[in-house]
Homo-oligomer: A and B are copies of this chain.
Amino acid sequence: MARILDGKVIAAAVKQDLAMEIAQLREKEVQPKLVVVLVGDDAASASYVRSKERMARELGLEAEVIKLSADVSESELMRQIELQNADDSVDAVLVQLPLPEHIDTDWVLMGVDPTKDVDGFHPQNIGRYAIGSPLVWPCTTAGILEILERANAPVAGQTAVVVGRSRIVGWPTAQLLLAHNATVVQCHRQTRNLAEFTRQADILVVAAGQAGLIRADDVKAGAVVIDVGINRVDGHLVGDVDFDSVVQKAGAITPVPGGVGPLTVAMLMKNTVRLARIRRLTKEDER
Chain B hits for A178, CB < 8 A? 165, 186, 188
Mask, A153-196, CB within 8 Å of B = 1, is 00011000000010100011000001001011111101110000
Complex-state Cα separation, A126 to B131, whole angstroms: 11
Which of these, B130, B167, B183, B188, contacts A192 with CB under 8 Å?
B183
Instruction: Contacts A185-B185, A186-B184 given; indicate if A157 touches B192 (C-beta within 8 A).
Output: yes
A127 interfacial by beta-carbon distance below 8 Å: yes
* Interface size range of chain A in the complex: 20 to 34
A98 interfacial by beta-carbon distance below 8 Å: no
How often does this chain occur in the complex, in copies?
2
Q: Shortest CB–CB separation between residue A106 and chain B, in angstroms?
A: 8
- For window 97-151 of A, CB contacts with B under 8 Å fall at 122-131
A122 and B127 contacting across the interface, CB-CB below 8 Å? yes
Which of these, B127, B130, B172, B192, contacts A124 with CB under 8 Å?
B127
Q: Shortest CB–CB separation between residue A184 and chain B, in angstroms?
A: 5
Instruction: Contacts A123-B123, A124-B123 given; indicate if A130 touches B171 (C-beta within 8 A).
Output: yes
Chain B hits for A156, CB < 8 A? 190
Chain B hits for A130, CB < 8 A? 126, 129, 167, 171-172
Chain B hits for A167, CB < 8 A? 130-131
Q: Measuring CB to CB, which residues of chain A are less than 8 angstroms from any residue of chain B?
A: 122-131, 156-157, 165, 167, 171-172, 178, 181, 183-188, 190-192, 197
Q: Which 9 A-B pairs have the closest CB atoms?
A: A123-B127, A126-B127, A183-B191, A181-B190, A127-B127, A123-B124, A184-B186, A185-B185, A157-B190
